[in-house]
Amino acid sequence: MSIQRTAVIGSGLMGAGIAEVLAKSGLDVIVREINDEASAAGRARIEKSLARAVEKGKLDAQARDEAMGRLRFTTDIGELADRQLVIEAASENEDIKKSIFAELDKVVTDPDAILASNTSSMPIIRFAQSTSRPERVLGVHFFNPAPVQPLVEIVSSVLTADSVRDSVTEFVAEVLGKNPIQAQDRPGFIVNALLIPYLCSAIRMLEAGFATKEDIDAGMVGGCAHPMGPIKLADMVGLDTCLYAAESIYRETGDPAAKPPVLLSRMVDGGLLGVKSGRGFYEY
């Protein structure tokens, strides 16, 4: 299957990044948002990201303009009828995502189309069961920032067809130039199943007063050769995303290591989400 016509649902931090990756790879991209204001914000995110790439010499002006020319924004999900690949990147809310997949199932007419979710931890099978084609639903989990991070998790549910998994894996590697790894539909997949308990542990250490955030981060950078400490990494991931992932993993597994710290919940309640909001455990 040669994928050319793609779509992204949502143009927040992750959706905009994914749309940019698709457009820079020479693909036709429709970005669907809930209203014109959100579409304008998504377009601005992509334009700013491409401008940075030009400034750093990673992209020339012509390539930037060509990428923007491949992008189209809409609020009408009906415009996705002819898409071959749709990647959902909406809020980490299971009901919202299931509703989107049910809509896509009615709208996308190509029986060979692939419906994917960028969720970081939610069960893919639940989205698949919202459609009449669960064998063509899987997870395609990019990491933030999507235009820069090379890794993509390909997540198969118990009903995902092997041919779909293999096709998307090849597409991610050969067309998008990313490094795909394959995971089963288990809480947190590969990366977050390991990462989220680690971040929660660091936040609990801070909450208990064992050490300052600076010393916790310096300890893991200097003592374990991590490129970034866990508190700063949580800010970069987004504290709301960390919380949603922790809740999802803890709900399914009962693993106490993934239980969200109270401090993390309070930070999110207060709108302190990390880099995306300008303030989390650190200020940006």
d(CA 18, CA 139): 13
Annotated binding residue at 11?
no
Candidate list 11, 25, 118, 120, residue with the active-site label: 120
The torsion angles phi and psi of 281, rounded to 5 degrees, stand at -70, -30
d(CA 87, CA 6): 8
Annotated binding residue at 213?
no
Are the beta carbons of 113 and 83 closer than 8 angstroms?
yes
Candidate list 25, 192, 247, 248, residue with the active-site label: 192
Tokens of 39: 């579409």
Candidate list 39, 130, 141, 247, residue with the active-site label: 141
d(CA 94, CA 111): 25
Alpha helices in the chain (DSSP H): 13-24, 36-55, 61-69, 94-107, 124-128, 162-170, 191-207, 213-224, 230-237, 239-253, 262-269
Q: Is 192 known to be catalytic?
A: yes
Annotated binding residue at 91?
no
Candidate list 20, 33, 92, 153, residue with the active-site label: 153
- Count the alpha carbons within 13 Å of 206 in the hemisphere toward its beta carbon: 25
Q: Is 226 known to be catalytic?
A: no
Q: Is 20 known to be catalytic?
A: no
Q: Is 153 known to be catalytic?
A: yes
**Which residues does residue 153 pair with via DSSP β-bridges, in sequence order?**
141, 181
Residue set of the binding site for CoA: 49, 56, 120
Residue set of the binding site: 49, 56, 120
Q: Kindly list the catalytic residues.
A: 120, 141, 153, 192
